[in-house]
Amino acid sequence: MSKQLKLGAFLFAPGNHAGGWRHPHARPETDMDFAAYAHLAQTAERGRFDTLFFQDSAAVPADTLADGGRTGFARATYLEPLSLIAALAPLTRHIGLIATVTTSYNEPYHVARRIASIDHISGGRAGWNLVTSQIEDEAGNFGLDAHLRHAQRYARAEEFHDVVRGLWDSWQDDALERDKQGRYFDPAKVHRLDHQGQHFRVRGPLNVARAPQGHPIVSQAGASEAGRELAARTADLVFTAALTLEEAQAFYRDVKQRARRHGRDPDHIKILPGLLPIVGRSEEEARAKHQRLLDLLPDDLGIKPIARLAGDLDLTQYPLDGPLPELPPNNSAHGRQQLLVDLARRENLTIRQLARHFACAGGHQVVYGTPQTIADHMQAWLENEGADGFIIQFPFFPAPLEEFVEQVVPELQRRGIYRTQYEGATLRDSLGLPRPAHPAEVAR
Amino acid sequence: MSKQLKLGAFLFAPGNHAGGWRHPHARPETDMDFAAYAHLAQTAERGRFDTLFFQDSAAVPADTLADGGRTGFARATYLEPLSLIAALAPLTRHIGLIATVTTSYNEPYHVARRIASIDHISGGRAGWNLVTSQIEDEAGNFGLDAHLRHAQRYARAEEFHDVVRGLWDSWQDDALERDKQGRYFDPAKVHRLDHQGQHFRVRGPLNVARAPQGHPIVSQAGASEAGRELAARTADLVFTAALTLEEAQAFYRDVKQRARRHGRDPDHIKILPGLLPIVGRSEEEARAKHQRLLDLLPDDLGIKPIARLAGDLDLTQYPLDGPLPELPPNNSAHGRQQLLVDLARRENLTIRQLARHFACAGGHQVVYGTPQTIADHMQAWLENEGADGFIIQFPFFPAPLEEFVEQVVPELQRRGIYRTQYEGATLRDSLGLPRPAHPAEVAR
């Protein structure tokens, strides 16, 4: 069998394109409408997606707030992802449910518990996209004057991850006996963690039985050195951004090699770049759809996402049609800043061109064309070690997801590189990842 | 119309009776089984309950852990309540969904956000049971050597509450415009909180639109002076424990008067004592069922819940058939300790008798009898200002809930003191509580 594509659906309401919500077919109220999310989830499941994927921030970005979402991303209010994936669980049967939760402003005991509970509720379909907070605005909602520094955030994230995974092994799989003539559980099969680290002291055990997946899926999106290293050691799935096959291949090779160095099977870490497809029944129609999206942007729109990546430098002081100046180091998102700089240099783009690009999919790859063109692109990356699959992004909701499922998915299936039926019951089954045995079982 | 009973279903798996899970009809695996919870929720909705009510702790109690739940409460592993109520939302239509979340080891921004999101997901049925942590074991899971002192916990809880409610007013009801030719929202209708207090600094705004209920329901269960005062000022619903009508009346009068002093309509704070009914088709059958439950307890069982209330005193050193000694002050649960002392003095009970009582419903009222007897009891408390309704507890699951819905509910309905259909769409509608207007609307 050919290597199989793994697909995630990035349900980023009101849309991944900064102006997408203005499209006549867009339903921007999706952001707060549970019934709309349920429709999207069921549509993605009909399209045999491996998983839904929900991004998150614990703040309204200050620049969005300032102008009511007129000139920038309008993403300001939406349903909290952990609550959302829990509620979507009973309305779906097979699709994975990955929610982003920051390690910067949370306690590992709570996060371990919620993700494990949702894994039970969904019969083994939960995943945690581990991030360190990227938007400065979050700090003010949690008692801090400023964001933690990048290195601190990653040190905390490392330890946070280890505590969560340790707590997931609190109970052996057969610890619960519920013997009405005897005891409820075997205390020898329940393990305290007794973690004492630099950032956390956590005794345990978790008050949730071992999850159906053993460990729910851990996803990561860091592209910096620290981010790659954490992903290579710990992640089941890496969400990344790459604009060319060569860039994708370099990242793919690097992370798989790092995983090997950590003693892992490189096939057990799935690398999924973001991809925003614009599907047309002809190349002409696709091009027109793409242009229509670009036309939704006011002239000053889209500068903000890249201005944020520029750190302390005020990009609006530079000519829109001039080149990107040298950028000072940025505390928020090292990897993404590098992507911007690389793109500008490689394609010799002006600030306006960069802004338009980033407005469309936040720095991710945009491909427009017929279902065949889009499938060609995906297949080339799959077969040339650029990707194990993609996190598919949508400029608005719901039409672009419906079109992808109705037009691109059958083409991928026809090529034999994408499932027609789910392989099993859990997200691990879909991703082809083994269920981790409990350490006490391994030791025996 | 007669005054109407408000009812909550206390879904405390594997059961509220310490030995209940050993009953031949018990399904103790309910604690981790989402399908079983869904059945309970739908059964309670068929019985027209106002709300489900989920207790919580963020730890496995050390004494439960030590012996595998053999001699004490077996409650050790269960689905995290916020995830659970989110997942139950799409499987129910009318019933309220109240989850306990401690203020001692959480951040108000997260809690405000999750409860508001679930209010949106459920169309206005979410509630937050605000507690301060009562079990010492939680501290070790959140980096503390010892539990916060009672007074500190309440000061933090007060401030936590005010931040959450403030964040719920971040967005005016009509702030979101989503005008495709204009802006996404009106920034003048989005409000930063800029809270700076002793325990929290929170800027806001919340990144969730105003909830369908305006403010989701806030429930509280504190019985101490500080607990009553907080409830009187802030709670929509008070879950309390009372063993006699006189005791219930004194509490009812006290809290309603306090509410009045805080400028509130006393009818807008609903007081619901816990009640564990044991229903039989005859008095004889009910008595036999009650005895059967008591017989499920090993002789040493049940001492633990009251030993915990005894604080630093080792109650197991005293003769089981002797009186309760003087108790030292207790850092965990002032109000509940007082209940124990009052009961022991009033009814002149031995330690063994107290233990049996507390094992059955943790200090709450147990009533056994025919549906008529149980309805008589409920009606007397309702009509004599002892209660606005009850939080109904169950010794195990699912049979006692099913029996209550099939036998007691019709009797309450026949008497005209309980709904046959839901009054509206939201939990506020069921409870007869007005939707709070946004402060900016009130000011206008």
What is the per-residue pLDDT across B351-367, written as a single tens digit (0 to 9) for each? Answer: 888 887 777 777 789 99
Task: Please tell me the predicted confidence (pLDDT) of residue B300.
Answer: 65
Q: How far is B254 from chain A (nearest CA, A)?
A: 36
Decide: A347 and A333 in contact? Cβ < 8 Å.
no
- Determine whether the interchain pair B90/A59 forms a contact, defined as Cβ–Cβ distance below 8 Å: no
Domain for residue A327, yes or no?
Answer: no
- Nearest by Cα to A37 from A14, A65, A5: A14
The yes-or-no verdict on residue B287 having pLDDT over 80 is yes
Task: Please tell me the predicted confidence (pLDDT) of residue A302.
Answer: 64
Cα separations in angstroms, B428 against A33, A73, B90, B128, B212: 20, 34, 18, 13, 10
Interval A25-80: pLDDT, tens: 999 999 999 999 999 999 999 999 999 999 999 999 988 899 898 876 788 999 99
* Mutate which: A105, A114, A207, A295, vs B, most B CBs within 10 A: A207
Decide: A396 and A75 in contact? Cβ < 8 Å.
no
- Determine whether the interchain pair A141/B79 forms a contact, defined as Cβ–Cβ distance below 8 Å: no
**B25 vs A323, residue with greater confidence:** B25
Q: What is the DSSP string of B56-81?
A: --SS--HHHHHHTTSSS--------H
Q: How far is B266 from chain A (nearest CA, A)?
A: 33
Nearest to A204 among B141, B183, B208 (CB): B141
Domain for residue B319, yes or no?
Answer: no
Q: Which residue of A has its CA nearest to B181?
A: A22
Task: Please tell me the predicted confidence (pLDDT) of residue B333.
Answer: 63
Task: Please tell me the predicted confidence (pLDDT) of residue B328.
Answer: 78
Which chain A residues are Cβ-neighbours of B300 within 8 angstroms?
Answer: none
- Nearest by Cα to A227 from A307, A107, A119, A337: A337
- Determine whether the interchain pair A68/B32 forms a contact, defined as Cβ–Cβ distance below 8 Å: no
Task: Please tell me the predicted confidence (pLDDT) of residue B99.
Answer: 98
Q: Which residue of B has its CA nearest to A73?
A: B184
All residue ranges of chain A with pLDDT < 70 are: 72, 299-302, 304-305, 312, 330-334, 444
Q: What single letter denotes the amino acid at residue B202?
A: V
Q: What is the Cα–Cα distance from B364 to B358, expressed in whole angstroms?
A: 8
Q: What is the Cα–Cα distance from B121 to A88, expressed in whole angstroms?
A: 10
Domain for residue A356, yes or no?
Answer: no
> Please, where are the H alpha helices in B58-204?
62-67, 81-88, 108-121, 150-168
Q: Which residue of B has its CA nearest to A19?
A: B180
The yes-or-no verdict on residue B332 having pLDDT over 70 is no
Interval B389-432: pLDDT, tens: 999 999 999 999 999 999 999 999 999 999 999 999 999 999 99
Task: Please tell me the predicted confidence (pLDDT) of residue A149.
Answer: 80
pTM higher than 0.90: yes
Interval B170-184: pLDDT, tens: 999 999 999 999 999
The yes-or-no verdict on residue B321 having pLDDT over 90 is no
Domain for residue B135, yes or no?
Answer: yes
Domain for residue B336, yes or no?
Answer: no
Domain for residue B327, yes or no?
Answer: no
Domain for residue B334, yes or no?
Answer: no
Residues spanned by the domain of B270:
6-282+364-443
The yes-or-no verdict on residue B316 having pLDDT over 90 is no
Q: How far is A99 from chain B (nearest CA, A)?
A: 12
Q: How many domains does chain B have?
A: 1
Q: Which residue of B has its CA nearest to A37?
A: B121
Quickly count: other Cβ atoms within 10 Å of residue B127's Cβ.
Answer: 32
Task: Please tell me the predicted confidence (pLDDT) of residue A352.
Answer: 82
The torsion of the CA quartet A413, A416, A418, A421, rounded to 10 degrees, works out to 70
Domain for residue A261, yes or no?
Answer: yes
- Determine whether the interchain pair A184/B21 forms a contact, defined as Cβ–Cβ distance below 8 Å: yes
- Residue A150 known to bind ligand: yes
Mean pLDDT of chain B: 92
CB pairs under 8 A between A and B: 227
Pairing of strands A365-369, A237-240: unpaired
- Determine whether the interchain pair B58/A183 forms a contact, defined as Cβ–Cβ distance below 8 Å: no
Decide: B280 and B287 in contact? Cβ < 8 Å.
yes
- Determine whether the interchain pair B183/A26 forms a contact, defined as Cβ–Cβ distance below 8 Å: no
- Nearest by Cα to A146 from B203, B230, B378, B67: B203
Which chain A residues are Cβ-neighbours of B141 within 8 angstroms?
Answer: 109, 202-204
Backbone angles phi, psi at B273, to 5 degrees: -70, 155
What mean pLDDT is predicted for residues B142-162? Answer: 87
Task: Please tell me the predicted confidence (pLDDT) of residue B215.
Answer: 98
ipTM of the shown complex: 0.94
Nearest to A121 among B34, B113, B114 (CB): B34
Which chain A residues are Cβ-neighbours of B59 within 8 angstroms?
Answer: 207
Which chain B residues are Cβ-neighbours of A70 within 8 angstroms?
Answer: 182-184
- Determine whether the interchain pair B86/A84 forms a contact, defined as Cβ–Cβ distance below 8 Å: yes
Q: How confident is the model at residue B144 (pLDDT cuts 50, 70, 90)?
A: confident
Decide: B344 and B323 in contact? Cβ < 8 Å.
yes
Kindly report the CATH number assigned to the domain that includes residue A213: 3.20.20.30
Q: Is the dihedral of CA B204, B207, B212, B216 positive or negative?
A: negative
Nearest to B113 among A38, A65, A80 (CB): A80
